[in-house]
Amino acid sequence: AVTRKYQFDVQMTSVTRLCSTKSIVTVNGQYPGPTLFAREGDHVEVNVVNNSPYNMTIHWHGVRQLRSGWYDGPAYITQCPIQPGQSYVYRFTITGQRGTLWWHAHVSWLRATVHGPIVILPPLGVPYPFSPVPYKEVPLMFGEWWKNDTEAVIAQALQTGGGPNISDAFTMNGLPGPLYNVCSSAKGETFKLKVEPGKTYMLRLINAALNDELFFAVANHTLTVVDVDALYVKPFAVESLVIAPGQTSNVLLTANNNPNARYYMLARPYTNTQGTFDNTTVAGILEYEDTSNGKAPSTSSLPILRPTLPEINDTSVVSNYTAKLRSLASAEYPASVPQQVDREFFFTVGLGTHPCQSLINGTCQGPNNTRFAASINNISFVLPTTALLQSHYTGMSNGVYASNFPFYPLRPWNYTGTPPNNTNVMNGTKALVLPFGVAVELVMQDTSILGAESHPLHLHGFNFFVVGQGFGNYNPSSDPAKFNLVDPVERNTVGVPAGGWVAIRFRADNPGVWFMHCHLEVHMSWGLKMAWVVLDGARPDQKLPPPPADLPKC
């Protein structure tokens, strides 16, 4: 294991997409940002220098941060933001993960443009547990682009109490592709993947879009899923897959098709939200190299083939896909699923409403003159003005957060039948406290005042096992008997199914304060988030070390 050092200069950069130019926040002037490479077991140090006019933090999404919570990144949870002109060195070790993760800004909605891949290779000399060995590996990062200023989009979404202005395009490695109506100066805005016939490629997929789950497919090429959220899975082949914001996945693609054609790689939303959303399609193009003379054929005359993507609201495709995900559970890569649980929790997650009076500005776009709120167990989380982790560490949580996050919903709910009248969601900065080492089972149930909606829930500081999922109301007397405690998939972001529930298990072996939230940015802004406090254990190696000297101050 080695130490890998990176320099991240956060700055304003002029970027042109869809024929219009705007100034965006970037790292090192790049959109998407630079790729961070490490091997499992390596130590990583990233010096983040904030030369932008905005407060900044960087989160290493999915990195476990075992006893290094000071470097996790969510603003006002584990740290105060890095103010303009200031810097902070993030230091962490990659433990027990291999595959693809990503980094992104974790303050306001700045992750819209501040994000990049984290490529984690196995330790030197350790092979992949699948075959064939990929000839090349290619990160494929999906994003969402607004022609409008990102800050204006944020302000609009937060002030109206309705949905955000829909994006103008999805992007693949920062490029929208040819299916958008673009001017001639935008001709280069297509991601192209050149492949050699017969070779196998590993695509490292990352969904960095703000508000949309995406279906992905490549025309005439099967994808073999080998890894999700930097953890191996039992390989399986699919024609298309779904990936939620926050999720990552490695898939193998073998170039075994007619080289005299081109193939669209397409991504488009999966959603059953009512109302308006961006239903456009980002396209990249897969092209074969002509290996006979070592040069690429003149491709512009070749036919271009299109894959079939599932219908935009096809929830059954999504649940069939997620049901196939199984961890390896092998001798080398065992699945350490807690077989007994010490703490059981049941959370409702979804949308509700606040009375309109709580609106500071703008109009009320929620039903019956209300404002949308999103909540977990009817609590809409309010960020404090100082960081929870510091308050916890110094024993001064009074006035910052309350340790009484409810174990069960405070109001009755019923998914089947009329959606619950989930009004008067309460605001609060509440945490749920766990003793070190307890095995936790958490069932999350989708509820909504509007209709079913899938919520990609992301837990910081842990991977968890997805032991069960289903539609309708969770039944505590019959559903646990069907849990998979043998080879459930292990990940850091899981979709709570639209109109259904998901059950996860994890062991609270990482002391600190850990954020959990919906990775749809608009739902997070509306309060679909909460914090776990994991107490120190008795042994020295079960305690959170003291904060670093350069930890930013509020």
Residues at the site binding ligand C2O, with contacts judged by CB under 6 A: 59, 61, 74, 104, 106, 246, 458, 460, 515, 517, 519
Smaller CB separation from ligand C2O, 106 or 326: 106
Cβ neighbors of 211 (< 8 A, separation 6 or more) are 144, 164, 167, 245, 277, 520, 521, 522
Q: Which residue is nearest to ligand C2O (CB)?
A: 61
d(CA 488, CA 504): 9
**Closest distance of CB 8 from ligand C2O, Å:** 16
Least separation in angstroms between residue 55's CB and ligand C2O is 16
Q: Kindly state the smallest distance separating residue 101's Cβ from ligand C2O, in Å.
A: 9
In angstroms, give the least distance from the CB of 502 to ligand C2O: 18
Q: Between 208 and 329, whose beta carbon lies closer to ligand C2O? A: 208
* Phi, psi values for residue 75, rounded to 5°: -65, 135
Looking at the Cβ atoms of 106 and 392, the one nearer to ligand C2O is 106
Kindly tell me which of 104 and 491 has the beta carbon lying closer to ligand C2O.
Answer: 104
Cβ 50 to ligand C2O shortest distance, Å? 19
Which of 58, 217 has the CB closer to ligand C2O?
A: 58
Closer CB to ligand C2O, 73 or 419, in the complex: 73
Question: Residue 286 or residue 516: which is nearer to ligand C2O going by CB?
Answer: 516
Buried b or exposed e, range 469-483, using 16+ CB within 10 angstroms: bbbebbeeeebbeeb
With CA atoms as reference, report the closest residue to 81 among 113, 111, 57, 101: 57
Which residues is 515 bridged to in the sheet? Answer: 531
- Contact between 389 and 512 under an 8 Å Cβ cutoff? The reply is yes
Other beta carbons within 10 Å of 493: 23
Give the integer Cα–Cα distance in Å for 84 and 447: 40
What Rg, from alpha-carbon coordinates, does the chain have? 23
Residue 529 beta carbon to ligand C2O: minimum distance, rounded to whole angstroms: 8
Cβ contact 12:54 at 8 Å: no
Query: Looking at beta carbons only, is 346 or 514 nearer to ligand C2O?
Result: 514
Q: Closest by alpha carbon to 447, among 371, 346, 525? A: 346
**Spatial CA neighbour of 455 closest among 335, 352, 338, 382:** 352
Give the separation between CA 502 and CA 524, rounded to whole angstroms: 19
Cβ neighbours, 10 Å, residue 450: 17
Which of 23, 199, 204, 183 is closest to 120 using CA atoms? 204
Nearest Cα neighbor of 58 from 124, 100, 104 is 104
Structure tokens at 395: 């024993």
Least separation, in Å, of the C-beta of 206 and ligand C2O? 10
418: CB partners within 8 A, 6+ apart = none
- Taking the complex as a whole, the smallest distance from the CB of residue 514 to ligand C2O amounts, in Å, to 10
Nearer to ligand C2O, 98 or 460 (CB): 460
Q: How far is the CB of 234 from ligand C2O (least distance, A)?
A: 25
Residue 17 or 460 with smaller CB distance to ligand C2O? 460
CB of 432 to ligand C2O, least distance (A): 16
